[in-house]
A = this chain, B = another copy of it.
Amino acid sequence: MADVAAAAGVSAMTVSRALRRPDSVSAEVRARVEEASRRLGFVPSRVASALASARTMTVAVLIPSLTNAVFIDLLAGVQETLSPHGYQPLIGVTGYGPEAEERVLRAQLAHDPDGVILTGLDHTPGTWDLLRSLTVPVVHTMDLTTEGGLGDGGHGDGGVRTVGFSQFDAGYAIGAHLAERGRRRIGLIAGQLDPRTRQRCDGWRQALRDAGRHDPDRELLVPDATSVALGAELLERALAAHPDTDALFLCNDDLAQGALFQCARLGIPVPERLAVAGFNDLAGAAWTVPPLTTVATPRRAIGVEAARLLIAGMEDRAQSRPEPRCVDLGFRLMVRETT
């Protein structure tokens, strides 16, 4: 920067100003600095800038997994929103564990991010402590604070900002839909039992209870990560246990696709003998045979909105403590042909 300053015949401070806020210097100086800067191939060091200004222009983004399309979409939304504003996402992968999340968060905080985006609301007390101690904005995603069954970990809702949708309501909607379709022996298949999956299941359960058709025996919950292969396998297990099942809710579309494939293989007509519903409306769900009924979740939009909220909080030089907000982006029941 000193070289550029010398070349442009100004002080280093003026170079800094000319490059960061071009209209804070005269047009003539700006031109000279820009020319010198370009000629010398000057790239300002963000590290030094961060140290001097206490703004790193980075945002910690904590997600459970990189191999689940749901969180990738979230990340994509975050990335495409932050990027034009000059912010760098720092991804942290927690592997679905609250303890790991705390560790990862701690590691990320060493980078002094200007904001934090987390997945879900199930954090360790240590994580809540860390978050409370931060002076930068924090946004939680994929869930709502008003959600039942969460258990307020002593943190109150004070200042917690969330962008998501009601997993419970979404599960309820699927359950109600299957009941409305006249199905009576409705089963549930779920993997990757994170809190959001559990809430979906709770909603589904409630819907079936409300319809007087809940049968706990027809629930098949396994801890494994969801996949097409697992869906195929679990379909067989579910039908072996209860051959008369006439509808199934699978907690994620990859499971549902696997189940559909297996039905085709076993010659089980869908939806005639068995209705199948998935969740998330992942890529391809509209094209399966038959097209899959599922719940479209606004994953990318959640990422975009979370990033927007964060940017608003970060640009706010007044550091006004933002009012807690709980943005509900909703979901859509996509009724297709498998039900």
8 A Cβ contacts from A228-271 to B: 228-229, 232, 254, 257-258, 261-262, 264-265
CA distance A91 to B76 in the complex (A): 11
A51 within 8 A of B: yes
Instruction: Judge whether B83 and A93 touch: CB under 8 Å.
Output: yes
With known contacts A228-B284, A257-B284, A48–B51 Cβ distance under 8 A: yes
- How far is the CB of A187 from the nearest CB of chain B, in Å? 20
Instruction: Judge whether A79 and B67 touch: CB under 8 Å.
Output: no
Instruction: Judge whether B72 and A67 touch: CB under 8 Å.
Output: yes
Instruction: Judge whether B289 and A109 touch: CB under 8 Å.
Output: no
A229: which of B66, B79, B112, B286 is its contact (CB, 8 Å)? B286
Instruction: Judge whether A76 and B83 touch: CB under 8 Å.
Output: no
Kindly supply a per-residue 1/0 record for chain A positions 75-100, scoring 1 wherever the CB is within 8 Å of any chain B CB and 0 otherwise.
Answer: 11001100100001111010000000
Kindly supply a per-residue 1/0 record for chain A positions 280-309, scoring 1 wherever the CB is within 8 Å of any chain B CB and 0 otherwise.
Answer: 000110111100000000000000000000
- How far is the CB of A283 from the nearest CB of chain B, in Å? 6
Instruction: Judge whether B47 and A56 touch: CB under 8 Å.
Output: yes
Residues of chain A touching chain B, judged by Cβ–Cβ distance below 8 Å, are: 41, 43-48, 50-51, 56, 66-67, 69, 72-73, 75-76, 79-80, 83, 88-91, 93, 106, 109-112, 133, 227-229, 232, 254, 257-258, 261-262, 264-265, 283-284, 286-289
